[in-house]
Structure 1
Amino acid sequence: MNKTVGSNHSDDIAGFTFSPKILDTLLEGCQVISPDGRYLYINDIAARQGRKPKSDLIGKKMVEAYPGIDQTRMYTVLQKTMEDGKHRTMENEFVYGDGSTGWFELRFDRVPVGVFILSLEITQRKLAETKISHLNAVLRGIRNVNQLITREHDPKRLISQACDLLVEARGFESVIIGLIDLPENRVDSFANAGVKLHALETLLKAGSLPDCAEVAVRTRKFVLRNNQSDACRGCSVATGLGEKIDDLALPLIHDDHLFGFMITSLPQGMGKDSDEQNLLQEVASDIAFALNSIQISTAHNATQIALSNTEAQLQQAQKLEAIGRLAGGIAHDYNNILAAQIGYCDLLQDHLESDSYVSKELVKIKACADRAARLTRQLLAFSRKQAMQVEVLDLNAIVTNFKRMLIRLIGEDLEFNTVLASDLGHVQADPGQIEQVLMNLVVNARDAMPDGGTLTIETANVYLDEDYAKMHVGVVAGPHIQLTVSDTGIGMDKTIQSQLFEPFFTTKEPGKGTGLGLATVYGIVKQSSGNIWVYSEPGQGSTFKIYLPKVDEPLTQHLASKKATALGDGELILIVEDDPALLEMFVKMVVKLGYQVKTAPNGKAALELVAAQNLRPAMLLTDVIMPGMNGKQLAEKLGKIQPGLHVLFTSGYTDDAIFHLGVLDSQSMFIQKPFSVDDLAAKIRQVLTTR
């Protein structure tokens, strides 16, 4: 009685013969291999599994039908079974001639004529196992990335660690994540992990996107590359890896905002799987969400910092404004006192011998008063109450003309450089005060470099945009001229910088400075509608940047003027001053100069006097700030009565409300208290001879 080959026990099989008819009906592949490796029998299933007709196999050696099979593990197991007769099973991946593969479960049993092999195709099962294993790895990577998202707040570290985690989870051969700049779509930064693709790295470092990423970014859809024909530059499909790799490129998008791209290299065939695609789109979405959150957080932090800086600037500006009002008021009152002192010193000198003891002491008194007057002028400059004779200026010309004096000021131990813009625009300011700004900043820089260094003055055309204006209190957006004074000195910390422009603040030793130099600079710049900012770190030097509004007007032209005549010729001058001591002193000075005088203590009294006596004075000398009617209003009323009346204004400072934010118009003549008899004589003659 014959028994069918296929029993589970090799010991039983040894004495049995096989029945081809029965074997042909089995659902498994069956084949019998002779001791010399020839096919003695193969059923239809096995032939289909081997992808060759039975006629091409029967009688042939295995190595002839499938070259290289003798190098496989399956062939080794066959030989061992042939030798010892032991039953063996194995799972084997078979590589076909076209490069495709199939998985089989093989059972080897020795029979009298050789070895009987039973083969069951398990390709689908192995693919399912591989897919499940791969998806588990991907899920593990996604879980790790999600944990990363909760703790990482730097975009570059985020994408770098995300690449590492996804590759470490063994779901991908390589991962590349790139961040791009919009709208140019150039790579700003990227990170990669896994198999190194040098050509792709070179492409990304140059700021360019590989073709697959470019398409993904443009279409905002994933792009699959899985064969040489559609491979893109540098990607794994275009390299030797491409034989077993799928490349999948995905855009990183959140709320329709594009952040970059991700390229993953997967085992071949995985890129087409819908579950794989969904998981990758999920991880891309998670990374984009994290990048969006970081961007929002960064913007919020930047806004908070900007708000804090703006609040600090506003508080500083308000503090300086309050100090300025106080300083201006004190300086105004003090100037009235000094005006009387200096005036009376001049008047008394005329009644004394120049070499007398009293005359010499008066000279000392006046010198002290002059020093006090200089201090009050600096206070007035800080408080923006100083009179300004505004002109349209070229800052390059100011720097060039003033350079020789500045070089003498700083000495030979410092290197002095100028970098002046060739096409510099014009500004509107008082040239004398701009020179004072330069001098004070240069002195400050010199003192900050006791061991030598470099001082640089620069000019430039700049445009301050709305964003800059929002970040800097008091700045109006638009074209400006930048004047920069920088040094390589000792620098300043934030505490010193916060007090830098306050009157009488100084870091110098007692007696080495008044503390008014930078306060004066601040006031002049502000009164010129400009802004000043300081940038400094301890040991890193300091840079002062001044921004003055650019004006599209021609430079002011200066005409030669005749020398003023010191004495008058009996012309009538109406003097209006609310301070009795000053009024008395003004009268004595004007009478001494050869003029007739009429006086009034205020504007109303002056109008009544003119009306009552039908006066037609040659000139009105009036204080600007008086109770009731101010000097400007008085001049306007008298001008209606007497058109063409010459007017000379005087004050301890020029009030913003009266003179257009402290700037005298072209029709106004002004002399600032305190002044000497000679100063007054020259100014009166200038006013009377001006038409």
Structure 2
Amino acid sequence: MIQPISLLVIEDNPADTDLIRDTLPPDAEFTFHGADRLSRAIDLLKTEDIDVVLLDLGLPDSTGINTLARFRDAAPDIPVVVLTGNDDPELAMEALRTGAEDYLVKGAIDPHLLVRTVRYARERKYFEQSLRESEQRFRSLVACSVDHIFLLDLDGRFMESNGATEHMGFPVGDLIVGKSIEDVYAPEVARIYRQYFEQVAATRKSVRFEHNLDRQDDERFHTDTLYPVLVGGRLRGIGGICHDITERKNAEDRVAHLNQILRAIRDINQLIVREKDAQNLIRETSRLLVVHRGYNAAMIVLTGDDDLPVSYAEAGMGEAFGPLEENLKKGILPPCCDKAKFQDGAFIVNDRVAVCARCPIAEGCVINDVLCVRLKSDLRNYGYLAVAMDRAKGIDAEEKSLFEEMADDVANALHHIYREKIMLSERAEKEKMEVAFHQAQKMEAVGRLAGGMAHDFNNMLSIILGCAELAISEISPEHPIHYELSEIINAGRRSAGLIRQLLAFSRKQIVSPRNVDLNRIIADQLKMLGRLVGEDIRMEFLPGHKLWSIRIDPSQLDQIMVNLAANSRDAISGTGKISVATVNTSPDQDPGLQQPYVMPGEYVMLAFSDTGGGMDEKTLEHIFEPFFSTKAVGKGTGMGLATIYGIVKQNKGYIQVYSTFGSGTTVKIYFPKVENPDPAEDEKIPVESVSGTETVLIVEDQPQILKLARTILERYGYHVLSAGNPAEAIENCKTYQEEIHLLLSDVIMPDMNGHDLYEKISAIRPDIRVLFMSGHTEDAIVERGILHEEYAFIQKPFSVKVLAGKVREVLER
């Protein structure tokens, strides 16, 4: 519905007012109002919404053009059409200049003219007001912009400028208006601006360019856009936008700098692999750190057991190194190295007055930031590494971390060189290393064999265990074949355990630490350990009262116990006894924990004692060395205690060995105390709670396992979609109309691995959850992007309850 136009006629002659009212066409949408005085009309505006006014300039309380001026002051936004008594062009033009939209001559007004004039007056006023509001909005946007937005005349003087200039080092925006490019910018920047200004003026095409803009605090701004301002096809000025990209530039410079450092680290890592001489290593490392322009200078100082310099190398320092070299020859370390001696990680030299006061090159180092770190490996300090870089680049946490990692690599390389030098010092040690090398080859072969066997065996065991468990769940314990099925399940589980032990031996097992009850695990192992040591050796277990929990992968505990039992068995000649005991303890209760390297806290101690032949002091010095063995050739790998040591250290524990030749051996292992144990895997989710009605998509390239997994989940109530390959799985996701709640996928399949498949499916169905399964070894799984901390994972072979429970666990997250 069209809103009527509210028309106010200000006319003191009633006849003229009536004539105008009668002139309006009957079908015109107007609301008519009249007033015979200017004051009354102004009062009427307070109560009525008036769209257009017809104003007579000769009123009792106001005459002439002043009448129009007074009304415009009272109502500047209402359009006015002036009524004149005669056709006076000069009066009409003066009225238009004073603010009238149009004029009408009394006696010459017809209905069409009247309606058109009134409507046009309102529309012109509306458009003028809209234009003013649009201009105001535009100016507000420009004023609020953080970019400097400006307009130059054709001589290069600022005609307009918003307020975003002061933070760029200019005067406030209004203060640069009227000034030329050369008045505002520094000469070099002004030259660049003038060049591009003239280019835009000549070509009438926009340009974008970057430049450095010095400020008082030496920070820089970089990019401008200039564009032609055309009105009616004619060039009226040059517009511009100055955008601050300092943060982006700094980030790009930072990334470039870190890439230079990474290239240096890459070459250093390659150097570490091939270089066996410590002096060549530090000389080349220093050179690589500088040649890639990651750092301005680098210095490595190697120290002896007394922490005094024994050799050094530098790059990038030139003649400035002379005074520092004299001090090094005198056994004086640079102050930054002295400071780094007591730091954990890299030391950043911030307080130069306090740190560098006695340094002979302090004055030339003022423009640099300095990083210094100890080269420490295996509790031994091999020296110090220091680098200098432009202070403007700064040192952030990422660079500090990269520097520390690189220093660790160099320290480890020095450690290996040191160890190799010691090992090669005597002929006997050299022969021992040759034997160890051949033994390592055999272990690697076993590892490769284990890795290759694990997948196929685990897949077959999944089918054997799964089918047997499904079958036994359908019959009563009294059924004739119940016993046979139970034996199949037990044998399958023992076989799975053998595979895990084989992978543990080759260090390819998937480690999943848990909070465990040590007493419970040992009690479960006693029968197996008894069979391992034989009937002539008696085993006893003394469990500690209310033993605290520890965090470790239970399979690693199996490995520790089997290795200890095997060593004790081989040490006992004839009959004997093995005692296993546990107890809660702490450093103030146990001398074995009263060592400087032991962290404060509470521990659970596992003691493993035997009545074997024991070891002498010389043997004790080497027991944790890889491949060290006192057994006859072919009777042992020499990795038992070395493997135990690695497991203990991996789990933040400590190990002590006490032995006297002829009187047996006691091994004490200390694990940090943790909270209560986790539930056993089969007990995490009760059987009653693992059922569900969600939809699960199973992807497995082995048909038997695919069918088994489908059968298991369907028995627990799930709706199952199955796919024999990734392409079929993706097609199912595209065509299936309902929600798919979970993707259960094998990790390693032809054409596409499970991780890549999940990424493609999650792009189609973002809310889908994922559970990966595999019978492969850990390194094969990690290579394909499956990290246990990020994704839910279940290892083949799995039981029916474990699979159903894991599916429920993932869906409940």
| TM-score, reference length from structure 1 | 0.41
| TM-score, reference length from structure 2 | 0.36
